[in-house]
Amino acid sequence: MSLESHGSIQVSRLFEAVNLLLIRYYRTSFSYWLNQDDPVAWMQKHIDEWRLNLELEQVFDQISHARVKKWRRQLDVRSACLEPGDSELTRDLLAFTGFRKFVGLYKTVSRQIFRHCSDDTYGRHLKLTFLFYIIHVSGLFMIHKDSLHEINQTLTKLIGDDDFKKDIPIVNQTFSLFKEHKGRYPETLLDCIYKIGEAVYKTGKVELINHFIDRVVNHGFQFPMIQGTGEDWQIRGNTAHVKNIRVFLSLICQHPKKSKRLLSALIIYLSIGGVFIKDTDLFPRDITGFLNADIEGVYNLVKQLARLLPAFFNEIGAEGQLRDISTELDESCHRRDRLIHFLRKQCHVESSSRIVEFIQQVMIFWKTKDKAPLEPFVPPSIFEEIQTSGRYVDGPGHIMQYLEEKKTVPPKGFSHVPSGGPGPVCGRGFGSDRPGPAPGSAHASVFSAAQ
């Protein structure tokens, strides 16, 4: 066998492998789309009125089952007529519409619907129904997020017609869709809910507003879901939690008197699930905006909510006395106490509503020497390094025992020590019998400053 013929066989085998792979790929893709609901048939079932002109029929034909079946027949014909190793078959196969390209056709159709409708209102209803179909099909997940934004924009233009009762089924259908994808796109859905809420409140229709609030409450809430602290020293939790609080507050501000049920629901959610707010969220601005709204008619409810919002500082990170004392506390141990050093950094850089509870758990650890309750507050590597005895634990432990003997039970009693310090109790150095003024005083004062 000559070298040239050997090379030709190798090339033929390569084309054969590629062609067989492409044929399998297209058949799998076509089968998947044919196993889904036909878009036109699905939309006919989910829209009150169905009327298509010639242009719209051509638009929807691009993604119809009939079109996919036609492609599948063409694939079978080409693969039967040509040899598997033929390069011409490769060229023909590459001209077929693949999975990603077919997904792109849905975006094209979405943009073309409104353009070919003579009636703007019907065009928006039709487009909204088509967008609902996109979210309905899991294989279109690549464009789900964009579709949710389009649903948001289309809904805000639809809501507010003279007959508001027509809007109620739209709101119901939208929230049913949101519920299915609540876990996948929480922040995008919250944006949509806020925009829909804006449009609903602008109508001024009490029945529609109450119905919207009912659906928002039934939709649920994004709880903090704290999962501890990572090795990057970042607290792991639900990033959509603060956004959910902000959306609720913004909706309530639209008309506080008409939003009593939404305000009550927020109070219940925060009471049950807790609140997690970081200094870097700049949440005091949201509180200020909320308190500047017309809250006179719901003042008692606002007071209940205000007690639940942990906004301790008006600046990012620790400033003033808290920074000075936490630094002094860490430096008194020459930064060798890993627990206190981490606490200092959390106060300065990653301070949040958990910092007070963290400080309380440190104090309880000094008393009990049981480090297990500290695990949710520190990274795994630091947790392993925390010693339950030694010079950085025994001294504070003696202080805790003394205070307990004096009927001052930590952490509540000890966390309100005056800024002057706890006095002669702290005259004993950590882990030694010789006098030492500063360390005990610094350990105590940081908790006073944090409160």
DSSP reduced 3-state for 170: helix
Element (H, E) at 18: helix 3-35
Least confident range of 17-26, 29-38, 293-302, 315-324: 315-324
What's the mean pLDDT in 338-362? 84
Q: Residue 346 half-sphere exposure, CB side, CA atoms within 13 Å? A: 24
d(CA 219, CA 42) in angstroms, rounded, equals 25
What's the mean pLDDT in 260-266? 96
Tokens (6 digits) for 415: 């966390």
Of 144, 116, 122, 98, give the one whose Cα is nearest residue 60.
116
d(CA 334, CA 329) in angstroms, rounded, equals 9
**Burial class of residue 347 (count of CB atoms within 10 Å of its CB; 0-12, 13-18, 19+):** buried
pLDDT value at residue 351: 76
H-type helices in 114-185, by residue range? 120-136, 144-158, 167-180
pLDDT value at residue 444: 36
Tokens (6 digits) for 120: 């703007």
What's the mean pLDDT in 439-450? 35
Percent of the chain whose predicted confidence (pLDDT) is above 90: 33
pLDDT value at residue 344: 87
For 26-53, write each residue's pLDDT tens digit: 999 999 999 999 999 998 888 877 888 8
For 55-84, write each residue's pLDDT tens digit: 889 999 999 999 999 999 999 998 888 887
Domains of the chain by residue range: 1-118, 159-311, 321-450
What's the mean pLDDT in 412-430? 43
H-type helices in 274-390, by residue range? 283-291, 299-308, 321-332, 338-348, 355-368, 380-385
d(CA 208, CA 255) in angstroms, rounded, equals 13
Pick 233 or 290 by higher pLDDT.
290
| Start-to-end C-alpha separation, the chain | 89
pLDDT at 261 exceeding the cut of 90: yes
Least confident range of 12-16, 219-223, 359-363, 376-380: 12-16
Identity at 219, one-letter amino acid code: H
Decide: 322 and 449 in contact? Cβ < 8 Å.
yes
DSSP category for residue 15: H
For 151-203, write each residue's pLDDT tens digit: 888 888 888 655 656 778 888 888 887 887 777 788 888 988 998 999 899 88
Contacts of 31 (CB under 8 A, 6+ apart): none
pLDDT value at residue 428: 34
pLDDT value at residue 159: 82
pLDDT value at residue 36: 94
pLDDT at 441 exceeding the cut of 50: no
pLDDT value at residue 258: 94
Tokens (6 digits) for 143: 């464009």
Pick 329 or 213 by higher pLDDT.
213
Average pLDDT across the chain, whole number: 82
d(CA 168, CA 152) in angstroms, rounded, equals 15
Pick 334 or 428 by higher pLDDT.
334
Contacts of 282 (CB under 8 A, 6+ apart): 316
What is the DSSP track for 49-115?
Answer: -----HHHHHHHHTTSHHHHHHHHHHHHHHHHHS-TT-HHHHHHHHTS--HHHHHHHHHHHHHHHGG
pLDDT at 94 exceeding the cut of 80: yes
pLDDT value at residue 442: 34
Q: How would residue 117 be classed by pLDDT, with cut points 50, 70 and 90?
A: confident
pLDDT value at residue 164: 59
pLDDT at 22 exceeding the cut of 70: yes
The pTM (predicted TM-score) of the whole model is: 0.72
pLDDT value at residue 162: 56
Contacts of 330 (CB under 8 A, 6+ apart): 337, 340, 341, 343, 344
- Across-strand partners of 229? 235
Identity at 274, one-letter amino acid code: G
- Across-strand partners of 435? 428
SS (H, E, C) 205-255: CHHHHHHHHHHHHHHCCCCCCCCCECCCCCECCCCCHHHHHHHHHHHHHHC
Q: Would you put residue 271 in left (φ > 0), alpha (ψ -120 to 50) or beta?
A: alpha
pLDDT at 380 exceeding the cut of 80: yes
d(CA 257, CA 421) in angstroms, rounded, equals 47
146-150, 323-327, 435-439, range with greatest mean pLDDT: 146-150
pLDDT value at residue 301: 95
DSSP reduced 3-state for 392: helix
What's the mean pLDDT in 320-340? 83
Of 138, 202, 199, 139, give the one whose Cα is nearest residue 170.
199
Contacts of 175 (CB under 8 A, 6+ apart): 215, 216, 218, 219
pLDDT value at residue 291: 92
What's the mean pLDDT in 347-356? 79
Rounded to 10 deg, the angle between the 3-35 and 99-113 helix axes is 40
Pick 391 or 6 by higher pLDDT.
391
